[in-house]
């Protein structure tokens, strides 16, 4: 603390304040506490440091909490005041005439604790606001959706400005050109209106509405979970738009686009494998995905999607997870006892991520996650082409993993241990670990490349 | 022979307007939407001046600029960069990548003409 007196000295100022406020004479207080009036005088003028028993006795005599008199609680305040003075000087604040008396900073804090705290609080709020501004301008610069929207609007504005000034400034513009530019203006103004609406809609969904914390995938999950992953209308060849309108997803948002794609797949699956057929086959075979797929002559991934869409009363709990070739989770219908999070990524040990390695071989495995409450589950994994094939282009695969409650049969191998997401996975000595766990006892399992 | 401007920009109505005003000013204007073959077109046309949008579909205009500057036959060609973001970062990137001039959308036709004339004159 440069410029001030030694730390701890401010206590004296406060003792003096308290004493005067209570109308006690210096000699009288000194007598009560058992020190000489001249020593108390030195203390009160911050010329002697005190602590321990004398401080306690003074606090008792003045009927205040010793903490209130002692320096400890003030250190942060003094630091904040110094910071405020420093920041103002750094900013070259022209209002600083006269400049703050740095040498009287402790006296100020001691005599006007309320004002001092107010100043420190204002400083902290200003700093927080500055950080927020930084974060927001960072968002402006780095938010890809916002950047794309703005780019679109500015591009159209550029075209409109250029076209309009041609129309205004070119004398004797040929009729063909005139007509052409008029048409361009018409098109562009339409696009500008749409672009501006998209931008406003996006900004409307900004901070404060709760939507900003959700990715489109999260919103889709919410939408599907609210429907319990079932769309009775689509079971009866109903309209995707009608099913979509029943939710609260807003047209034009990323979540709306995802939901439409999910419902279109749902509709196509339901048309190819109606609920009644599937449930009849389940009555014959039980929940045996491969036998069902063969009996019903549908690809395993489609059968798995259909099982995940059946009423729970009919087939019991069924979970389903899908992933693209980059390992990013797409569909996510959770099964109790098996933890999945979009936020932290998945575990590469899941059969889901091995399905695409041998596309023609479906996998079936009992797996168990670590931790209390984790139940072994039956995982069946298979994959399908995510898009129609093109000549000489590698097939894009999408993998699915169906999760069923464990039904261990005699002779089944022990469930294979798998993880959740590394950050929240306590499994030690794991070759698949890609980042340290935040959980205790996992620290010994370092990422292999550390 | 009239000087040739190659306009690499993906917004058709901007292409049309700029083509119009530059043609009226006596330039021969060719345009390209900035697809993967943009560099082939630059090499084939050997324009006197290039107007290049920063945000092209599928490719950054900076990339294309860097490639132009690496090609000894094209390295001296004046390049006017267009961007919808006037951020200092973009300006610096454009300078580093070797842009001769940098213009922020939306620009006026007069600014465009002035820039093109200045670049052609400086050549």
pLDDT in tens, B38-91: 889 999 999 999 999 988 877 778 888 988 999 999 989 999 999 877 667 778
pTM beyond cutoff 0.80: no
Residue B56: closest C-alpha in chain A: A151
Among chain B, residues having any CB pair with chain A shorter than 8 Å are 11, 13-14, 16-18, 20-21, 24, 55, 84-85, 87, 89, 105-109, 112
Q: Is the pLDDT of residue A267 over 50?
A: yes
Alpha carbon of B85: minimum distance to chain A alpha carbons (Å): 8
Residue A356 DSSP one-character state? G
B120 touches B5 (CB < 8 A): no
Task: At A419, list the tokens.
Answer: 């993880």
In chain A, % of residues over pLDDT 70: 84
**pLDDT bucket at A289, cuts 50 / 70 / 90:** very high
Distance CA A237, CA A200 (A): 36
Residue A98, preceding bond cis, omega within 30 degrees? yes
**Partner-chain contact B105 A158, CB within 8 Å:** yes
A431 touches A448 (CB < 8 A): yes
ipTM above 0.90, yes or no: no
Which A-chain residues 116-175 have CB contacts (< 8 A) with chain B? 141, 147, 150-151, 154-163, 165-166, 169-170
Angle between helices A26-33 and A37-44 (to 10 degrees): 110
What are the angstrom distances between the C-alpha of A264 and each of A231, A240, A250, B21? Answer: 11, 7, 17, 48
Question: Rounded to the nearest 5°, which phi and psi values hold at A23?
Answer: 70, 35
Distance CA A296, CA A234 (A): 20
Q: Is the pLDDT of residue A106 over 80?
A: no
**pLDDT bucket at A210, cuts 50 / 70 / 90:** very low
Q: Which residues share a beta bridge with A379?
A: A365, A403
């Amino acid at each position: 603390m440069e410029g001030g007196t030694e730390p701890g000295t401010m206590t004296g100022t406060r003792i003096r304040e308290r004493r005067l406020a209570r109308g006690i004479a210096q000699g009288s207080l000194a007598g009560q506490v058992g020190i000489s009036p001249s020593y108390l005088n030195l203390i009160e003028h911050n010329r002697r440091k005190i602590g321990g028993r004398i401080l306690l006795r003074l606090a008792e005599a003045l009927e205040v909490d010793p903490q209130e008199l002692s320096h400890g609680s003030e250190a942060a305040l003094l630091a904040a005041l110094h910071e405020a003075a420093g920041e103002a000087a750094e900013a070259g604040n022209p209002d600083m005439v006269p400049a703050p008396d740095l040498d009287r900073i402790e006296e100020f804090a001691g005599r006007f604790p309320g004002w001092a705290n107010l100043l420190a609080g204002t400083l902290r709020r200003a700093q927080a606001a500055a950080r927020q501004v930084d974060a927001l301008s960072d968002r402006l610069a780095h938010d890809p959706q916002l950047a794309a929207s703005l780019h679109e609007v500015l591009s159209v504005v550029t075209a409109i400005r250029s076209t309009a000034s041609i129309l205004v400034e070119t004398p004797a513009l040929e009729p063909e050109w005139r007509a052409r530019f008029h048409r361009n203006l018409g098109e562009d103004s339409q696009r500008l209106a749409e672009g501006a609406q998209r931008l406003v809609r996006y900004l409307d969904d900004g901070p404060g509405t709760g939507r900003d914390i959700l990715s489109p995938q999260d919103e889709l999950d919410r939408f599907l979970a609210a429907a319990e992953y079932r769309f009775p209308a689509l079971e009866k060849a109903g309209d995707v738009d009608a099913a979509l309108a029943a939710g609260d997803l807003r047209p034009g948002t990323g979540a709306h686009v995802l939901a439409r794609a999910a419902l279109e797949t749902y509709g196509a699956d339901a048309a190819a494998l109606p609920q009644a057929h599937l449930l009849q086959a389940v009555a014959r075979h039980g929940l045996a995905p491969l036998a069902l797929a063969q009996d019903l002559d549908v690809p395993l991934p489609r059968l798995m999607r259909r099982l995940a869409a059946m009423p729970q009363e009919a087939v019991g709990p069924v979970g389903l997870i899908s992933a693209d070739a980059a390992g990013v989770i797409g569909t996510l219908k959770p099964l109790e006892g098996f933890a999945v999070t979009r936020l932290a990524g998945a575990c590469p040990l899941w059969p889901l991520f091995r399905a695409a390695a041998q596309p023609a071989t479906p996998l079936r495995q009992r797996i168990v996650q670590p931790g209390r409450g984790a139940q072994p589950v039956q995982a069946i994994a298979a994959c399908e082409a995510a898009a129609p094939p093109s000549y000489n282009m590698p097939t894009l695969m999408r993998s699915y993993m169906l999760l069923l409650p464990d039904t261990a049969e005699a002779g089944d191998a022990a469930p294979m241990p798998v993880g959740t997401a590394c950050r929240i996975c306590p499994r030690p000595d794991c070759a698949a670990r890609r980042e340290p766990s935040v959980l205790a006892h996992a620290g010994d399992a370092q990422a292999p490349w550390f | 022979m009239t000087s040739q401007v190659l306009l690499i920009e993906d917004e058709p109505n901007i292409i049309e307007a700029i083509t119009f005003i530059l043609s009226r000013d006596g330039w021969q204007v060719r345009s390209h939407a900035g697809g993967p073959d943009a560099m082939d077109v630059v090499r084939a046309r050997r324009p006197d001046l290039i107007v290049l949008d920063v945000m092209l579909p599928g490719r950054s205009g900076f990339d294309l600029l860097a490639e132009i500057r690496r090609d000894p036959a094209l390295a001296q060609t004046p390049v006017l960069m267009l961007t919808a973001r006037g951020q200092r970062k973009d300006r610096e990137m454009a300078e580093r990548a070797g842009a001769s001039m940098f213009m922020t959308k939306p620009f006026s036709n007069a600014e465009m003409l002035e820039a093109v004339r200045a670049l052609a004159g400086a050549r």
